[in-house]
Amino acid sequence: MTRTPLIAGNWKMNGLQPALEEAKAIAQAADSQDGAEVLLCPPATLLTDLARTLSGSRVKTGGQDCHAEESGAHTGDVSAEMLAGAGADYVIVGHSERRADHGEDDLTVKAKAKAARRAGLTPIICVGEKEAERAKGVHLDVIEMQLDGSTPKNLAGDEVVIAYEPVWAIGTGRTAEPQDIAEMHEFIRTRLRHIMGEEAEGVRILYGGSVKPGNAAEILGIDNVDGALVGGASLKAADFGPIIASAQSE
Ligand code: PEP
């Protein structure tokens, strides 16, 4: 099964208008190779402008979160339909920062993933264990629970992306060991087979957590790693460009 790698940038709460110039440089880097699909998820305030800036390039845009409802009395929230209207193709749901800062549980994440599909977006469902959970040896159980609880059933393999992001590796400069990434990604693939049958083969499973130009090629070369979700290193073309270039079609 061929899965085109996805290199996704999560700008988190970073980016004002000048960031659009950086996005143009990222688009140049992305357009000079064809190994991977490339995605930028800016803050919602930049989405429309970014989608316009990137139109004509290979780089797609996505949201960082969405509300489960289509519209209504939810001050400050943004629906999946609004993201789609602003030009998004993807939306990240269940990022560990949302799970921690906003108390999002697996049921909420699943509802958001379903909302994404309702709006025609591809959800990128994030899962990841905390450091203490890995130290206790319960990391596989934690991921199994998050996956089972957050992943809608009856999706085709190309309608959902999973991002495995060990919480202790996000923004810390630490990455999981290659053998641990391999173990976890294989485990996730197996678990997805339970949830969605043979469609699991088509699901891209991204690794996230301090992916940088210096470690991207090794991480992207691991079995069942179908791309990366990149935070800090997606803000600058000088970092994100080489990560994009590290991705080869399988
Ligand atoms: C992330 O935000 O999902 C992430 C992995 O961040 P960083 O690459 O900065 O660790």
Q: What are the structural domains of the chain? A: 6-13+38-44+60-67+76-220+230-246 (3.20.20.70)
105 has a pLDDT exceeding 70: yes
In angstroms, rounded to a whole number, what is the distance separating the alpha carbons of residues 55 and 33?
A: 17
Q: Which of the four pLDDT bands, split at 50, 70 and 90, describes residue 113?
A: very high
* Closest C-alpha among 248, 208, 216, 196 to residue 92: 208
Q: Which of the four pLDDT bands, split at 50, 70 and 90, describes residue 249?
A: low
Active site residue 95: yes
In angstroms, rounded to a whole number, what is the distance separating the alpha carbons of residues 42 and 61?
A: 8
14 has a pLDDT exceeding 70: yes
Give the mean pLDDT of 118-145. Answer: 98
170 CA to centre of ligand 1 in angstroms: 5
Give the mean pLDDT of 74-98. Answer: 98
Predicted local distance difference test score (pLDDT) of residue 148: 98
- Confirm or reject: Cβ of 10 under 6 Å from ligand 1: yes
250 has a pLDDT exceeding 50: no
Predicted local distance difference test score (pLDDT) of residue 98: 98
Closest ligand 1 atom to Cα of 234: 8
Predicted local distance difference test score (pLDDT) of residue 19: 98
Q: Hey, what are 136's tokens? A: 């206790």
What tens digit of pLDDT does each residue of 159-182 get? 999 999 999 999 999 999 999 999
Predicted local distance difference test score (pLDDT) of residue 34: 87
Mean model confidence pLDDT for the chain? 97
Predicted local distance difference test score (pLDDT) of residue 229: 98
Selecting among 139, 159, 165, 185, the annotated active-site residue is: 165
Q: How far is CA 37 from the centre of its chain?
A: 12
